[in-house]
Amino acid sequence: MSEETTTEEAAKRPRKLMKELTDEGIVIIEAIGGNAGSVKYDFSKLPDDIKAKLGPFGLNHKLGDSAAGKTGAEAEEAIQKVWDGLMAGDWSVRAPATPKVSVKALVDKMNSLPEEAQAQARALLESLGVSIPS
């Protein structure tokens, strides 16, 4: 099964739960199932020691997400961009996602090349473990 098929199938499956971040906390919404509804979890009601632990945990998660799929200087730049945004009061700043390359896009590009270059591209991709449909 190709990565593309997996992505398409995942997009067709409905989400069981959705989360909505609010000023007070988080609302979990059950989107499907017999008990569809929502439950609100109020952050302010948590004990202070738990709130103190959640801050660094959430920061670690937020900064870590910004570096997903990146390494070295690129990861450091992504983390710094999100940190700078947070320091400026902007929660929604994001580092650009790493571009995704599908097998279909590679095959389309390969097929647009001259015949000799197609053979070289196919050999290279197969040597890298990319399975090219015939």
pTM: 0.50
Task: Quote the percentage of the chain above a pLDDT of 90.
Answer: 23
Residue 101 has pLDDT above 80, yes or no: no
Nearest to 4 by CA among 124, 111, 130, 91: 130
Residue 5 has pLDDT above 60, yes or no: no
The span from the CA of 74 to the CA of 81, in Å, is 11
Amino acid at 126: E
pLDDT at 1: 40
Beta bridge partners of 41: 26
Give me the residue spans of the domains in the chain.
15-45, 48-97, 101-134
DSSP state of 97: P
Q: What is the pLDDT of residues 37-77, one digit of tens each?
A: 778 888 888 899 998 998 899 999 999 998 888 889 989 99
Beta bridge partners of 29: 18, 38
The span from the CA of 79 to the CA of 101, in Å, is 23
Residue with the larger pLDDT of the pair 59 and 15: 59
Long-range contacts formed by 112-115: CB under 8 A, 24+ apart = none
